[in-house]
Structure 1
Amino acid sequence: MAISTTAVPGQFTLVLHSHLPWLANHGRWPVGEEWLYQSWASSYLPLFDVFERLAADGYTDQVSLGLTPVLAAQLDDPHCTASMYEWLADWQLRATEAAMSRDADRADAGRREYLDAGRALETFETRWRHGGSPLIRGLATSGVVEILGGPLAHPFAPLLDPSLRQFSLTEGRADARARWGVDPAGIWAPECAFAPGMETEYDRAGVRHFMVDGPTLHGDTALGRPVGDADVIAYGRDLQVSYRVWSPKSGYPGHAAYRDFHTYDHGSGLKRFRVTGRGVPGEAKKPYDPSRVDAVIDRHVEDFVGHVRQRLIDESARIGRPALVVAAFDTELFGHWWHEGPVWLERVLRRLPEIGVDVGTLSGATRSGLVGDPVDLPASSWGSGKDWRVWNGPAVRHLVDLNAEVTETALDAVAKLLDRRRGRNRVADQIVRELLLTVSSDWPFMVSKDTAAQYAVSRAHTHAHATREISDAAMRGRDDAAAILAETWSRADSLFPALDARRLHAIGNAEGGIG
């Protein structure tokens, strides 16, 4: 059935959350830097190409694009950019070997992947070799995307010490300004986590809007909502629309024709099989056939845009004014998890205006007045149960306790170090850096979801050990040893070079002291 092209009221907004934990220098395979390079090749390269094509064709305000400081640090890191180039070359080499296979299906996959790797290598050589920031700055300047920021190292903010939470947020925004010349009006709070009172902290930090999950707004996401008495707006993810894509039971990526994420060819490491069917074991998967895919993508585009259009009509009628529909996803879904996702996404963004749907950003929604009455928000997240159980439930109580203990140790050491001596203190800086990596929200998430849980626990304890080790040497007056330890750890964990522990100390003093 053809979709009407008559304009409909309101606005559709696509929000993408780009994030990976700090992986550089902490393992390669099966979990570690490989995760970064796969996501870079499969998601960031093609999606940035999509945004640049849209910008070149005159599209503006297409996506609210969240980029976490910890991911941005890796996209700019010299070790990561050099290793990414090597990874792409290795991908092409593996594809070459597969293309020479006597197995016809493996050889076909090898030839396809060889061409894909070659295109990725050319894009990386000509556009990315100096890091991601020049491209991100260009996208922001073109107006095709709105950049959303976030706090340093992606902490689960409601469980964080208040002074560390404020420091992480303000430093994250400063990191965006330094890298991209952008002062993001909005943020994607890690895990969409919220605790009552955080709206005041956002307001004080200059945040004008942030994302929450739909149930946090009791499912009524048709308008942004000012939170409490603060001058900051919460926008909620529309689950009816978002789950058309991101449902493990019925989402588009599970279609039989699409390339399967989980099943590898063990000889080459290439993903050369299609989904085939839900519940089909890996050994029974059929070879991936690109000729089957294009028509399926178009059907899913039409299904999605039709659903968005009808949702805008229905929600606008329900509230008696133009409504907002926000679909929000992890960026890595498109390409990394769902191979065909970037193609689908570009077709959706080009198709929506053709059927009368206005596309805009979260900032655009605010400018257009798609904002309702103030609301008080509950403690919430976008995790299981829409509460905090993924990050503070029984399965991760040991990490909650670890974070509390290490935070107390670090803040006490930083306070004493900076009270003892004025000026920049690199030892204190590295203590804070390791503390932030310890309390990353990724580690309890990976444990609760049993995805590389052993790696996650190891990472949390590694950074906790670094924090304790440097702090202990400093508190015992072993200044030379503390300096050596700080320098040694910084070789692995060198992100956020502008981080200055004195600013954390100032926040703590303003709040009555830290430690």
Structure 2
Amino acid sequence: MSRNCSIVLHAHVPWVRHPEVSHCLEEDWLHSAVIETHLPLLEMLFRLREEGVPFHLTMNISPTLLAMFRDRLLKRRTLDYLDRTLRLCRDEVERGDITGFKELAEGYEERFYRLRSLYVENWESDLIRAYSDLRDSGHIELTASAATHGLLPLLMRVPETVQAQVRTGIRQYVQSFGRMPRGFWLPECAYAPALSRLLKEEGIDWTIVEEHAMTTAPQASDEFPFRPGVTPDGLYVFGRDQASSSEVWNADSGYPGDGRYRDFLRDVGLEAPIEYLRDYLGETEQRQLTGLKYFRSGRTGDDSEPYDPALAAIALEEHSTHFIGSRGAQLAGLEASGIENPLVVCAFDADLFGHWWYEGTEFLERIFRKGAARSDFSFTTPAGYLSSNSEQEYSTISPVSSSWGEGGYFETWTQEENNWVNGEIQTRCEQLARFVRIFEENRNDYSDKVIEHRQRCIQLMTREIMLAQSSDWGFLMQNEPSMEYAEARTRGHLENFDKIWGCTMDLGKTNVLDEIEEANPIFPDLPWNIFEPYVR
């Protein structure tokens, strides 16, 4: 008998690249993710490995984020962002005697210098290599995901587009990490029964669904979600434990809301005089988060209290001890109830750790250290669990449609503000599927030039429709600060699709194709036939 816990992090940023401007606020989504989440996380994981602390973590990096990690322009801009932040740190140290936050500013300056050194010197701005190193040493399991974070259940009316999302995501994984993935992260943890066969046919062994996808399934039993089930298609399904995840993630009672932690919104970029920030903000002079924050969380109403790292450390010790103790008690109780080899899966957005919750990376480090000292349970990965329990019999289950969006299903993406997107995408996907089918049926009648031209058009239309399918846009259309950008991006990709469609019969419009291809150079080697007919 064994008891196990699995920590799963999903890292994603939608494709954002704007070479036409010197600074794009939305590109900062990537830069802040690198600097506030990935660099601190990698620093911590390598430290644990170097010290010989045993740990296992499951990590998903979305294909769009992998593409941005590789992009030369974006890597240069990430470094520019870091250098700009360091200049602001130096300014903050100089005015520290006036603000009273000199010591905190000096701490930030030291931290950002250290992270810059890791990024440039240790990993040569190649975060994919850094994660691969940890994978190769057996400390993390890396998983694949859908190409552009499309909400797959809402796309299933045209299965060709889901097949393209999955195949492209797997291709990007193989190109990045050199081997086939065993696991596949479903964007928004969104599942529909039809995905089981499709994932299995593409060589995927396992995925994760929400707890209620298993507990409300026809075959629901007490063992779910604390043991994986297997679908009739042979896909292993792990359930995300709601109780343990809520201890960290819950907006009202989760650990990050403790008043001793750093307040996310009390940021220098939102509060310092605009004239002072002019060099940092650039031409637009639009206020933005800088990562420099001096106040404790205002959850208790005491938001004017200065941030105290020593107090935060006390909170971290309390919360990491509580989390580890809770998992030990939970797993012991599950085993006592008759569940053999119980597993608790705790899955989170990666940017919760370091970005939203500044101290979150240290929380992970503490629970891994405390877990290494325990004898009653171990941290593992889904693939590790399956390998260790290869002789086990797993119960059949057919999880129900679900997601981790508000309400547990797909309501977030079918609201008044964003539901129009689904129809626009479906129409074009049906259009593309018909075009591909007709092209393949008649290609022997075409000249080589026509074949080459139409294959290029199909490739570019596939890319643009996948970019429009990102679940981020529908989500952001309900949030005022990003609503306009999200709608513009969606309409822009749909318009690009239509422009390419208008070129399919005209070999002379290569300039239109060149312009669209250059604007979004993601998945440059996408096979033209990845949108081929899906055989049910």
Listed as ranges, the matches of 1:257-336 within 5 Å are 257-265=260-268, 266-267=271-272, 269-278=290-299, 280=301, 284-336=303-355
**For the structure 1 residues 28 and 346, does the alpha-carbon distance in structure 2 shift closer, same or farther, using more than 3 Å as the test?**
farther
Q: Is the 8 A contact 2:228 2:394 kept in 1?
A: yes
Find the counterpart in structure 1 of residue 71 from structure 2. Answer: 77
Q: Is residue 186 from structure 1 mapped to residue 183 from structure 2 by the alignment?
A: yes
Q: Is residue 148 from structure 1 mapped to residue 143 from structure 2 by the alignment?
A: yes
**Gapped regions of structure 2 (runs ≥ 5):** 217-223, 278-289
Q: Is the 8 A contact 2:264 2:297 kept in 1?
A: no
Give the match's secondary structure for 2:108: helix
Q: Is the 8 A contact 1:42 1:335 kept in 2?
A: yes
Q: Output the CA distance in 1 between the equivalents of 2:476 and 2:483.
A: 5
Find the counterpart in structure 2 of residue 422 from structure 1. Answer: 451
Give the match's secondary structure for 1:274: coil
Letter in 1 for 2:490: A
Q: Is the 8 A contact 1:384 1:390 kept in 2?
A: yes
Find the counterpart in structure 2 of residue 39 from structure 1. Answer: 33
Q: Is residue 240 from structure 1 mapped to residue 243 from structure 2 by the alignment?
A: yes
Q: Output the CA distance in 1 between the equivalents of 2:259 and 2:100.
A: 17
Q: Is residue 123 from structure 1 mapped to residue 144 from structure 2 by the alignment?
A: no
Letter in 1 for 2:292: K
Q: Is residue 139 from structure 1 mapped to residue 167 from structure 2 by the alignment?
A: no
Q: Output the CA distance in 1 between the equivalents of 2:516 and 2:103.
A: 45
Percent of aligned pairs with the same residue?
A: 24
* Stretch of structure 1 that moved more, 420-429 or 189-198: 420-429
Q: Is residue 175 from structure 1 mapped to residue 172 from structure 2 by the alignment?
A: yes
Q: Output the CA distance in 1 between the equivalents of 2:99 and 2:89.
A: 14
Q: Output the CA distance in 2 between the equivalents of 1:29 and 1:252.
A: 35
C-alpha displacement at 1:302, in angstroms?
0.3
Q: Is the 8 A contact 1:224 1:234 kept in 2?
A: yes
> Deviating runs (4+, > 6 A) in structure 1?
26-30
C-alpha displacement at 1:344, in angstroms?
0.9
Q: Output the CA distance in 1 between the equivalents of 2:43 and 2:475.
A: 31
C-alpha displacement at 1:346, in angstroms?
0.8
C-alpha displacement at 1:72, in angstroms?
0.6
Q: Output the CA distance in 1 between the equivalents of 2:460 and 2:339.
A: 54
**For the structure 1 residues 315 and 449, does the alpha-carbon distance in structure 2 shift closer, same or farther, using more than 3 Å as the test?**
farther
Find the counterpart in structure 2 of residue 20 from structure 1. Answer: 13
Give the match's secondary structure for 2:424: helix
Aligned residue pairs, count:
496
C-alpha displacement at 1:279, in angstroms?
6.2
Give the match's secondary structure for 1:480: coil
Q: Is the 8 A contact 2:66 2:128 kept in 1?
A: yes
Find the counterpart in structure 2 of residue 480 from structure 1. Answer: 508
Give the match's secondary structure for 2:131: helix
**For the structure 1 residues 60 and 184, does the alpha-carbon distance in structure 2 shift closer, same or farther, using more than 3 Å as the test?**
farther
Alignment partner of 1:498 out of 517, 520, 525: 525
Letter in 2 for 1:245: V
Give the match's secondary structure for 2:378: coil
Q: Output the CA distance in 2 between the equivalents of 1:338 and 1:450.
A: 22
**What CA deviation, in whole Å up to 9, does each residue of 1:260-304 have, x standing for no partner?**
1122123354432334431649xx532222122111111111010
**What CA deviation, in whole Å up to 9, does each residue of 1:233-260 have, x standing for no partner?**
1101111111110010011111111111
Q: Is the 8 A contact 2:54 2:372 kept in 1?
A: no
Q: Output the CA distance in 1 between the equivalents of 2:64 and 2:503.
A: 27
So what's the TM-score if we normalise by structure 2? 0.87
Q: Is residue 388 from structure 1 mapped to residue 388 from structure 2 by the alignment?
A: no
Q: Is the 8 A contact 1:106 1:272 kept in 2?
A: no
Find the counterpart in structure 2 of residue 218 from structure 1. Answer: 215
Q: Is the 8 A contact 1:188 1:210 kept in 2?
A: yes
Q: Output the CA distance in 1 between the equivalents of 2:45 and 2:334.
A: 29
Letter in 2 for 1:368: S
Q: Output the CA distance in 2 between the equivalents of 1:107 and 1:417.
A: 66
**For the structure 1 residues 388 and 449, does the alpha-carbon distance in structure 2 shift closer, same or farther, using more than 3 Å as the test?**
farther
Q: Output the CA distance in 1 between the equivalents of 2:207 and 2:485.
A: 30
Q: Output the CA distance in 1 between the equivalents of 2:502 and 2:437.
A: 13
Find the counterpart in structure 2 of residue 96 from structure 1. Answer: 90
**What CA deviation, in whole Å up to 9, does each residue of 1:130-158 have, x standing for no partner?**
43222122121111001111121111111
* Stretch of structure 1 that moved more, 315-324 or 102-111: 102-111
Give the match's secondary structure for 2:337: helix
C-alpha displacement at 1:415, in angstroms?
5.3
Find the counterpart in structure 1 of residue 386 from structure 2. Answer: 366
**For the structure 1 residues 348 and 416, does the alpha-carbon distance in structure 2 shift closer, same or farther, using more than 3 Å as the test?**
same
C-alpha displacement at 1:493, in angstroms?
1.0
C-alpha displacement at 1:91, in angstroms?
0.6
Q: Output the CA distance in 1 between the equivalents of 2:393 and 2:344.
A: 12
Q: Is the 8 A contact 1:257 1:274 kept in 2?
A: no
Q: Output the CA distance in 2 between the equivalents of 1:371 and 1:492.
A: 50
**What CA deviation, in whole Å up to 9, does each residue of 1:300-335 have, x standing for no partner?**
110100001011011112234221111110111110
Q: Output the CA distance in 2 between the equivalents of 1:313 and 1:407.
A: 49
C-alpha displacement at 1:59, in angstroms?
5.0
**What CA deviation, in whole Å up to 9, does each residue of 1:330-377 have, x standing for no partner?**
111110111111111011011113122211100011123376311111
Q: Output the CA distance in 1 between the equivalents of 2:53 and 2:198.
A: 34
Q: Output the CA distance in 1 between the equivalents of 2:238 and 2:123.
A: 32
So what's the TM-score if we normalise by structure 1? 0.91
Alignment partner of 1:51 out of 45, 48, 67: 45
**For the structure 1 residues 79 and 412, does the alpha-carbon distance in structure 2 shift closer, same or farther, using more than 3 Å as the test?**
farther
Letter in 2 for 1:183: M
**For the structure 1 residues 127 and 466, does the alpha-carbon distance in structure 2 shift closer, same or farther, using more than 3 Å as the test?**
farther
C-alpha displacement at 1:105, in angstroms?
2.7
Find the counterpart in structure 2 of residue 198 from structure 1. Answer: 195
